[in-house]
Chains A and B, each alone.
Chain A
């Protein structure tokens, strides 16, 4: 924020507060929006499906980034909170017959409130212990959802209809893409602005040094609980999207490994960076798809492992990539991007 390109000066207060500052940034931004708008007409349905899941994951990962990247509270139950969002949507729309647009805030709020239940221990414990609480939360939540048959239909799940606005239905992938992009854009906008407010500065203070933050008058309990609420709210909204996208609220998509992938997305992208989250999600999703495509090829090359390579390859590649990132680029893709940007600005004087 403090470092501006050479020759850019702020004359007004609003300029100083702007997120998008310079003309090239505006141009890039508008071009990116146009790109998102015409994307469905450029690619096949398969890639569009990936783009939709990327958008949904961006929403959830934004929440995790607020919670983990900015407030420093590890959550390993993020996919369980997503499941809560999906099942809340299912219960509200299928069982109670409410509109999807009523279910949108409700799924977020329910996920957020349950997040608070598991976030309250974060006042007592932190770091390692909090990771363990949230692992426990992941299993307990998924167990409850799976076995509370009268409410959630357990294993079978609930079929969710695509949402509608008046005559406009979000049934096809293309129209759902616009919905997902819209929600992802709003989520990004909110995150980017939450972290610039008093709340966001309190989060960062707690992450950096909680004792110092408390001494300076930050209400640690309140802000940690708030971080859990906001983080899980985003996850719930992502669950709302995901449930409608795959058309069913079922338990098989929300296991511990999914939660670990959310953490991996945030770490690979760069903790505490809005751009990083987007980069991380795209990177991890692209990697997943590549491993899915590579599976049969590897299977043909090594026939002895053909039956298991489909399951094993994503685990192998992603585990390896996470480890490599942690060792060689622990600050993530966002940091790498900053380095490239700085080198470009200083060229030819950069190394």
Chain B
């Protein structure tokens, strides 16, 4: 039992990283119906932007973080403006490939500037452990999951209580009706990209203060697609529930199965979850609509 909890609890906590990346996916998807395959790269860029500001440009920490966020916002906005806006009206295939192109390009930029090496970020969480149900968990994990939940709550508030957020929800529901009610689609699409890249980037920065950052960590972005899908493509709550759940499944599977299959099962469990969900419940746990069947 202790062993099980020992896998489960860190899994649940680090699983919130999927929640944060998924929130980015969902923000873009529910506003624009674009699934941004490059979300993992924005996650990395969040970490690299902070690295650039603090370690390379030597700005003080309190100034470096806001500057990094501004950089991310600019990047998200310009991605939308220069790559996705010309693609409006193109078939879904082209849009998927476009976001893949963005992800390859950004990966190239990151490898070019920061190479493959692990780059450490300034630690912001204190080291040490905390006892939860008899399991010692690093305090960093606790902080990380708490902040992820805070980000989630902020986004829920944003989508349900603020004007821009409601506009986005309206556009997601029916873009033509929203437009005729005076919602500027261009503005909210750009806003969605800015918010998504900032949110994901903050998640990346927070996780990478614990682990350091390499371009390889972009794989987290693809894995969190499983979370988005299982939770429902439009549902913030789905991401909040499925993120820790998939994290826990990964840790438990890695703990129990790795000795038998020779390691690395953590990297594929999420995709197995994805395929199971697509076969039996394609709209996810809390998705809005039954997807079209033929």
Contacts and interface: CB of A to CB of B under 8 A. Distances in A.
Interface string B241-265: 0000000000000000000011111
Residue in A74, A129, A140, A317 whose Cβ sees the most chain B Cβ within 10 Å: A129
A49 interface: no
Interface stretch (B106-114, B140-148, B168-176): B106-114
Interface stretch (B16-24, B43-51, B87-95, B195-203): B87-95
Given A135-B225, A257-B104, A140 B92 contact: no
A132 B267 CA distance: 15
A308 interface: yes
Contact of B116 (A256, A305, A308, A315): A308
B278 A305 contact: no
B279 A315 contact: no
A160 B275 CA distance: 33
B270 to A, nearest CB: 8
A136 B87 contact: no
A183 interface: no
Contacts of A210: 294
A316 B106 CA distance: 8
B278 A124 contact: yes
Interface in A162-215: 210-211, 214
A159 interface: no
Contact of A127 (B92, B106, B275): B92
Contact of B282 (A125, A136, A309): A125
Contact of B268 (A125, A139, A305, A327): A139
Nearest to A256: B222
Interface in B93-149: 93-94, 96-98, 100-109, 111-116
Contacts of A154: 262
A139 to B, nearest CB: 5
A216 B86 CA distance: 35
B275 A74 contact: no
Main secondary structure of the interface of A (DSSP, over half): helix
Interface stretch (A30-38, A142-150, A242-250): A142-150
Contact of A135 (B97, B108, B222): B222
B68 interface: no
Given A124-B278, A309-B112, A326-B98, A316 B267 contact: no
Given A210-B294, A305-B113, A308-B115, A147 B261 contact: yes
Contacts of B106: 319
B104 A260 contact: yes
Contact of B104 (A132, A135, A211, A322): A322
B291 A129 contact: yes
B271 A140 contact: yes
A125 B102 contact: no
Contacts of A257: 104
A330 B86 CA distance: 11
Contact of A308 (B86, B111, B262, B263): B111
Contacts of B94: 267, 326, 330
Contacts of B293: 124
Contact of B102 (A133, A267, A311, A319): A319
B112 A316 contact: yes
B166 interface: no
A263 B97 contact: yes
B83 A316 contact: no
B101 A132 contact: no
A323 B294 contact: no
Contacts of B264: 143, 146-147
Nearest to B96: A131
A164 to B, nearest CB: 35
Interface string B267-289: 11001101100110010000000
Given A72-B93, A137-B275, A143-B265, 8 more contacts: A129-B229, A131-B96, A136-B271, A214-B294, A305-B113, A309-B112, A319-B106, A326-B90
The 6 closest A-B pairs by CB, nearest first: A315-B108, A319-B105, A319-B104, A136-B271, A312-B112, A316-B108
20 contacts: A121-B275, A121-B279, A124-B282, A128-B35, A128-B96, A139-B222, A143-B267, A146-B264, A264-B101, A305-B113, A307-B115, A308-B111, A312-B108, A312-B112, A316-B105, A319-B102, A319-B107, A323-B101, A326-B94, A326-B101
Interface of B: 35, 83, 86-87, 90, 92-94, 96-98, 100-109, 111-116, 222, 225-226, 229, 261-265, 267-268, 271-272, 274-275, 278-279, 282, 291-294
